[in-house]
Amino acid sequence: MAFLNKYISDVFGAVRSLLKGMRLTGYYFTHRREIITQQYPDNKEQMHLPERFRGEVVMTHDANNEHACTGCTACELACPNATIKIITKFDISPEGKKKKALDTFVYHLELCTMCNLCIEACPTDAIKMAQTFEHSVTDRSQLTKKLNKPGSKIREGIE
Amino acid sequence: MFSIEHITHLIDAWLYGNLPPTLALLIECLIVGLAAITLFAVLGLVLVLMERKVSAHMQIRLGPNRVGPGGMFQTVADTLKLAMKEGLTPDGADKFLFNLAPYLVIVVSMMILAPVAFAKGVQLWDLNIGVLYVTAISSLSVIGILMAGWASNNKYSLLGAMRSGAQIVSYELSAGMSLISIVVLTGSLRISDIIASQQNGWWLFKGHIPAVISFAIFIIAVTAETNRAPFDLAEAESELTAGFHTEYSGMKFALFFLAEYVNIFIVCAIAATLFLGGWMPLHIGNWAGFNHVMDYIPSSIWFVGKVFSLIFLIMWFRWTFPRLRIDQLLRLEWKYLLPISMLNLLLMTLIAINGWHF
Amino acid sequence: MIEELATTDAGEMVVNVGPQHPSTHGVLHLVITLRGETIRKVEPHLGYIHRSIEKMCESLSYRQFIYVTSRMDYLSSHINNHACALCVEKGLQVELPARAKVIRVLMDELTRLASHQLWWGAMAMDVGALTPFFHAFREREAINDIMEETCGARLTMNYMVPGGVMADLHPNFQKRVKDFIHLFRSKIDEYDELVTGNVIFRSRMEGVGRLSAADAISYGCTGPTARGSGVRCDIRKLAPYEIYDQLQFEEPLETGGDCFARYLVRMREMRQSLSIIEQLIDNIPQGDFQAKTKAVLKLPKGEFYSRVETARGEFGVYIISEGGMTPYRIKFRSPGFSNLSALDHMARGYKIGDLVAIMGTLDLVIPDIDR
C-alpha cells in the first residue's frame, strides 16, 4: 500500500511541477508587453549609448580646427596593441625656435581593443572615445584612420 | 449552410455525369492526390511558422517579422532556400538507402492522411479498420529513421536512429492502448463510426476519468512518437548535434522536417477524432438549442480548431520542458505509462460492458 | 584504417565531440569512448583557442597586461582583472581608497551574477529546455547595461587599474542597481519555477556525475564544482581580499556531489551575491576612486601571487618580477582547467546525455581553459 501511495504521489508531484513551468511559459506567451526584442536597424533613432561607451578613438577639434595634441606619444606608449602611431614634425615658431608638433595621428581601428588606456594616458585630453559602433567596412585599409583633421593645428597655450 | 461535403458531392456528380466512369475515377484520384500534396505543403509552411511564432512568444521574442506582414512568408523563403541548396550525399554513406530514407518517411506520413476525416464527408478513404490502419502505418516511419541513421555513416546519426527505434517501438504500446480504450467504447474501428458515436458529446467528457487518462497518455505517447521535445532524443541537439538527420541537407533535410510537422498534424488529428469528436461540433446531451447553435459553425472549422489547439499544446510542451535521458524515457513508458494504460483499458472495458458512460 | 580506429575489439565506439559541437560551448574537443550509450572514457583535447596570453603578458607593462586577462574567462572578465590589479598592488605596496574597494566588490558581484545567469540559461539548454536561455539573457542584459554605463563596455570592461578603478561610478549607478535588484528578486523565483522544480530536470540532475569531496580536492576543483561536493573553498571566505571580510554572506555548500548539488550551489550563490550588492549599494564611501600611482609602474624584484574567487572558482595570478617595467614571467591559475580535469572521472559510466549535463554544471569557458 505504501508503495502504491508513493507511486501515486510521485505521479501527481511530477505533473504539478510540469504544470508550474507551463503556467510560466503560458504567461509569457499571452503577455506581449514582456517581449524584449529590439529591432536594431529600425530603432537607431531611439538608441542612446551611454557617454562612456567605448566605440573608437577620436580626436576632438574645436571650431577653429584646433586640437590639443602635443605629439608627446604617451598614448602610443600606453597602447598594448600598437594601435596608435604618432608622426611628429618640427614647427618653426615666429621667434625662430624649433618646436615639436603633431604631424599625423595614425589610428589602426582593426588593432584596437577599446581598452581606454590611451585616453587615460593623454595629459592634454586631446583624444576621447566616441560612441560609434558600426565599424564594418568593405576594405581593410579603411580601418586605418588619420585622426587629426587636415590643416588642423595645436590650440594656443597647450604645452 | 456552407459545407465542403456539398462541394465534393457536386464535383463527384458532375464528373460521373459527363465522363465515362473510368476516366471520372482517374480524375478524382488525381484531384485527391493533388489536394493531399497541396495540403502537405501548406501544413508544413503553416506549422513551421506557428512553431516559430509560439516559441518566440514563449521566449519573450518577436520571432520572424521581416518577410511579409508579421513574417508570414518566412517559411516560404526558407523552403525556397532549402530547395535551392545542394543535397549532399556523404562519401562513405550507403547512397541508395541514404536517398531513399526521406522519401520513405514522407510517404508514410502521407499514407496516414487517408482515413483522417477533415470535415463532414471529407475523407479520402473511410476503411473499416481505420484506427488499426493508422497504428500500423505510423510504425513504419521508424524504418525510415533507422535507414537514415544507418546509411549516413555517422556515429551521431546511428545513435540517434537507435534511440528513435527504441523510443517509437515502446511508445507505440501505450498510444495503441489508449486508442483501443476508445474503440472499446464505440465498438468500431471505422473513423466515421467513431465520430458518429460522439453525436451527443465527446468521448473525453462522456468516458469519465478513464477517458481523460487515456487522452493524457495518448498525447504523451504521440509526443514521443513524433520525436518532439521533451522526447526529442533522436535529434537531441545538445547531445547528438542533429541525430539521425545530421548528414542531410537541402531538400532531403526539408522532407524530414516536413514529415515531422505533418506527423504532428496527423497524430493531433487522430487524437481530435477519437477523443474530441473530429469534425463533430460540441454537443451536450439533449440541450437541443445549444446543439443547434453549435451546428452553425462549419464542421471543418471545428476540426481545424481542435487539431490546432492540440498542436499548440504539444508545442507548449516543447518550449517548456527539458529533455529526458534515454533510460528515463524508457522507464517512463514501461513503469508508468504502460501499467497505467493497461489498468485504464480494464476500467474502460468495465464501463463499456456496464454502459456506465453517458 | 578509420574503421579500425573507430571501433575497438571490445565493441566500443570512439566519438569525437567537438571542437564544433553545440554543447561544448566553444572549441573544446572531447574524444569519448562509448559502449552503446554508456561512456567508458572521456579525453579532453585542448589547444584550439590557445593564444599564449601568458607569454603575451611578458611584453606588456603592468598597466597594459590587465586588459588581456579579460579575454580569458570572458564571463567574469572583471574578476580576472581584479586579480591582476591585486597582484600588482601587492608588489607596489599601494593602499587602496575605501571607495575603490567597494566599487571593485560591487562590480565583482555584478559580474558573478551575470556569469551565473548565462550559465543557468546555457545549462538548461544543454539538458534540452530552450526557453530559459532567453529569460536568463533578459536579466543579464540589465547587468550589461549597468556595466556599459559605468565601465564603458559590456563584456570586456577593463575597468580595473593598479591602484583602483578607471573611472568613478556613473551618477545613475545606484538607482539602476537598485532597480536591477528589485527585478532580479522576482525573476530568480521564476528560474526556480521553470527549471529547478521541474521533475524532468531533477531526474536529469540528481545522482548524475558524482564527485566525492576527496576527489574534488585531488583534482584541484574549486568554486561551485567543489562546493557541490562539500569542500569549503571560497577565496572570499578563506583568504578575504578587499572588504569581503566585513561583509555578511555565507558560502553555499551542498554535500551531494552530483549535478544537482552543483546546480543548487550556483543558484544559492546568485542569492548571496544579490545580498552582498544590497549591503553595499547604500554604503559606498565617498573619496577617491583611485590611489596615486606613478606613471610608469615597476614592481620590485620578487614573486607575487594573488587569488580571487571568480564565478567558476579560484583564479590565481603569479608574477615573477626582475624589477623591470614588464613582468619576467606570468602564470595564471584558471579554475576551468582543473575543473575540466575531473570530467573524465565524473562522466565514466553515465550516458551521453549525462555528459552534456555534467559539462553544463562544470560551467566551462574554453578560453579560460586554453588561455
Q: Residues of C with CB below 8 A from B60's CB?
A: 134-135, 138
Does residue B7 surpass a pLDDT of 80? no
Which chains share 3+ C-beta pairs under 8 angstroms with C?
A: A, B
A61 and A105, same structural domain? yes
Taking the CA atoms of C266, C267, C272 and C274 in sequence, report the sign of the dihedral they define: positive
The neighbour count for residue A90, using CB atoms within 10 Å, is: 10
Does residue B48 surpass a pLDDT of 80? yes
B35 contact partners, CB below 8 Å, separation of at least 6? none
Comparing B226 with B122, the larger pLDDT belongs to B226
In a domain, A47, yes or no: no
Mean pLDDT for A129-145 is: 87
**Which cell is C3 given?**
574503421
Q: Does A38 touch chain C (CB under 8 A)?
A: no
Chain B nearest C-alpha distance from C108 (Å): 28
Query: Residue B57 and residue A28: Cβ atoms within 8 Å?
Result: yes
Q: Does C167 touch chain A (CB under 8 A)?
A: yes
Mean pLDDT for A63-70 is: 83
pLDDT of residue C1: 38
Task: Kindly state the helix (H) or strand (E) to which residue C316 belongs, with its residue range.
Answer: strand C314-321
Note the residue count of chain A: 159
Chain A nearest C-alpha distance from C159 (Å): 9
Q: How confident is the model at residue A78 (pLDDT cuts 50, 70, 90)?
A: confident
Is-contact C258 C205, C-beta < 8 A?
A: yes
Chain A: residue whose CA lies nearest to C166? A120
Comparing B358 with C198, the larger pLDDT belongs to C198
**Which cell is A50 given?**
551611454
The Cα angle at residue A11 between residues B309 and A5, in degrees rounded to 5? 150
Pick among A52, A76, A120 to test the C interface (most C CBs inside 10 A): A52
Q: Does A19 touch chain C (CB under 8 A)?
A: no
What integer best gives the mean pLDDT of chain B?
83
Alpha-carbon dihedral B221, B226, B230, B234, rounded to 10 degrees: 120
Q: Which residue among B241, B322, B327 sits closest to C128, beta carbon to beta carbon?
A: B322
Range of lowest pLDDT (B61-70, B81-90, C1-10, C138-147): C1-10
B72 contact partners, CB below 8 Å, separation of at least 6? B49
Mean pLDDT for C332-352 is: 88
Chain C nearest C-alpha distance from A22 (Å): 8
Does residue C7 surpass a pLDDT of 60? no
Mean pLDDT for B195-214 is: 78
Comparing C229 with B235, the larger pLDDT belongs to C229
Question: What 8-state DSSP symbol labels residue B336?
Answer: I
Q: Residues of C with CB below 8 A from B161's CB?
A: none
How far is B296 from A148, CA to CA, in rounded Å? 78
Q: Residues of B with CB below 8 A from A38's CB?
A: none
pLDDT of residue B86: 83
The C-alpha cell 546511428 sits at B158
The C-alpha cell 536512429 sits at B161
Q: Does A130 touch chain C (CB under 8 A)?
A: no
Does residue B60 surpass a pLDDT of 50? yes
Does residue C299 surpass a pLDDT of 60? yes
Is-contact C121 C137, C-beta < 8 A?
A: yes
Q: Which residue among B155, B163, B322 sits closest to C15, beta carbon to beta carbon?
A: B155
How far is C334 from C368, CA to CA, in rounded Å? 6
Q: Does A39 touch chain B (CB under 8 A)?
A: yes
How far is C202 from C216, CA to CA, in rounded Å? 22
Query: How is chain C split into domains, by residue range?
Result: 2-370
Q: Residues of B with CB below 8 A from A25's CB?
A: 58, 316, 319-320
What SS3 class is residue A66? strand
Q: Residues of C with CB below 8 A from B240's CB?
A: 352
Does residue B146 surpass a pLDDT of 80? yes
Does residue B4 surpass a pLDDT of 80? no
Is-contact B58 B320, C-beta < 8 A?
A: yes
Q: Does A4 touch chain B (CB under 8 A)?
A: no
Q: Does C141 touch chain A (CB under 8 A)?
A: yes
A143 and A73, same structural domain? yes
pLDDT of residue B93: 81
pLDDT of residue C163: 84
Query: Residue A37 and residue B319: Cβ atoms within 8 Å?
Result: no
Pick among C193, C352, C356 to test the B interface (most B CBs inside 10 A): C352
Is-contact B181 B210, C-beta < 8 A?
A: yes
* Strands in B120-257 per DSSP E: 122-123
Alpha-carbon dihedral B157, B160, B165, B167, rounded to 10 degrees: -170
Range of lowest pLDDT (A8-22, B92-106, C9-23, C251-265): C9-23
Q: Which residue among B62, B65, B319 sits closest to A25, beta carbon to beta carbon?
A: B319
B52 contact partners, CB below 8 Å, separation of at least 6? B63, B64, B71, B74, B75
Query: Residue A21 and residue B320: Cβ atoms within 8 Å?
Result: yes
Q: Which residue among A11, A22, A35 sits closest to B60, beta carbon to beta carbon?
A: A35
Q: Residues of B with CB below 8 A from A21's CB?
A: 320-321
pLDDT of residue C2: 46
The neighbour count for residue C24, using CB atoms within 10 Å, is: 20
Q: Residues of A with CB below 8 A from C148's CB?
A: 49-50, 52-53
pLDDT of residue B3: 63
Is-contact C359 C24, C-beta < 8 A?
A: yes
Question: The pTM is what?
Answer: 0.86
Q: How confident is the model at residue B358 (pLDDT cuts 50, 70, 90)?
A: low
Kindly give the residue spans of alpha helices, DSSP state H, lying in B152-190. Answer: 155-186
pLDDT of residue B203: 76
How many CB pairs below 8 A link A and C?
67
Mean pLDDT for B17-26 is: 81
A75 and A125, same structural domain? yes
Amino acid at C332: F
Read off the pLDDT of residues C38-74 as tens digits, 9 standing for 90 and up.
888 888 888 888 888 888 888 888 888 888 888 888 8
Q: Which residue among C65, C131, C202 sits closest to A25, beta carbon to beta carbon?
A: C131
The neighbour count for residue B46, using CB atoms within 10 Å, is: 16
pLDDT of residue B108: 87
Q: Does B54 touch chain A (CB under 8 A)?
A: yes
Alpha-carbon dihedral A23, A25, A30, A36, rounded to 10 degrees: 150
Is-contact C118 C139, C-beta < 8 A?
A: no
Q: ipTM of the assembly? A: 0.81
Strands A66-67 and A153-154, how do they pair?
Answer: parallel
pLDDT of residue A130: 87
pLDDT of residue B1: 45
**Which cell is A69 given?**
595634441
Longest Cα separation, chain C: 71
Query: Residue A25 and residue B58: Cβ atoms within 8 Å?
Result: yes
How far is A129 from A77, CA to CA, in rounded Å? 18
Q: Does A123 touch chain C (CB under 8 A)?
A: no
Q: Which residue among A25, A53, A80 sits closest to C64, beta carbon to beta carbon?
A: A80
Read off the pLDDT of residues A87-102 as tens digits, 9 standing for 90 and up.
888 877 777 777 778 8
Chain A stretch 79-118, residues whose beta carbon is closer than 8 A to a beta carbon of chain C: 79-80, 113-117
Chain A nearest C-alpha distance from B65 (Å): 10
Query: How is chain B split into domains, by residue range?
Result: 88-354
Range of the domain at A31: 2-36
Chain A: residue whose CA lies nearest to B318? A22
Q: Does A5 touch chain B (CB under 8 A)?
A: no
**Which cell is C103 given?**
566599487
Query: Residue B326 and residue C353: Cβ atoms within 8 Å?
Result: yes
How far is C344 from A133, CA to CA, in rounded Å? 43
What percent of chain A is modeled with pLDDT above 70?
99
Query: Residue B316 and residue A11: Cβ atoms within 8 Å?
Result: no
Longest Cα separation, chain A: 108
The C-alpha cell 508503495 sits at A3
How far is B137 from B263, CA to CA, in rounded Å? 12
Chain B nearest C-alpha distance from C208 (Å): 11
Query: Residue A22 and residue B58: Cβ atoms within 8 Å?
Result: no
Q: Which residue among A24, A26, A37 sits closest to B62, beta carbon to beta carbon?
A: A37
* Strands in chain B per DSSP E: 117-119, 122-123
Task: Please say whether the structural domain C2-370 has been given the CATH code 3.40.50.1000.
Answer: no
Long-range contacts of C151-155 (CB under 8 A, 24+ apart): C151/A52, C151/C78, C151/C107, C152/A50, C152/A52, C152/A53, C152/A54, C152/A114, C152/A116, C152/A129, C153/A53, C153/A54, C153/A114, C155/C70, C155/C74, C155/C77
Which chains share 3+ C-beta pairs under 8 angstroms with B?
A: A, C
Pick among C56, C60, C64, C169 to test the A interface (most A CBs inside 10 A): C64
A146 and A99, same structural domain? yes
The Cα angle at residue B331 between residues B327 and B336, in degrees rounded to 5? 160
Phi then psi dihedrals of residue C305, to 5 deg: -135, 135
In a domain, A51, yes or no: no
Does residue C135 surpass a pLDDT of 70? yes
Is-contact C29 C18, C-beta < 8 A?
A: yes
Taking the CA atoms of C82, C88, C93 and C97 in sequence, report the sign of the dihedral they define: negative
Number of structural domains found in chain A:
2
Query: Residue A120 and residue C64: Cβ atoms within 8 Å?
Result: no
Query: Residue C351 and residue B322: Cβ atoms within 8 Å?
Result: no
Chain C: residue whose CA lies nearest to A131? C152
How far is B154 from B249, CA to CA, in rounded Å? 14
Chain A: residue whose CA lies nearest to C157? A115
pLDDT of residue A88: 84
